[in-house]
Amino acid sequence: MTQLETIQSIINDLNNEGIKLLINDNQLAIRVPKTKKVNSQLLQSLKENRSDILFYLKWKSGKSLLNV
């Protein structure tokens, strides 16, 4: 699996769990529903790939990548 496929897979898994990813001041934040228990492996994957995920989300949304 390529890095891009890994990132897309993590994002899809988070979306399927109802977890929202947010970009705030060049940082990645997550919003988890109060009633949701989050898969620890999924959070670990997010933690290990957060800079790549942030870059991907900014690229996909068309935001400036110069400040990453």
| CA distance linking residue 47 with residue 21, whole number of Å | 12
Q: Residue 24 in contact with residue 67, Cβ under 8 Å?
A: no
Interacting residues of 49 by C-beta distance below 8 A, sequence separation 6+: 6, 7, 10
Q: Would the pTM count as exceeding 0.75? A: yes
**For the chain, what are the domain ranges?**
3-60
AA identity, residue 19: I
The pLDDT tens digits of the residues spanning 40-49 come to 898 899 999 9
The pLDDT tens digits of the residues spanning 6-26 come to 999 999 999 998 889 988 888
b/e per residue 35-58 (b: at least 16 CB within 10 A): eeeeeeeeeebbeebeeebbebbb
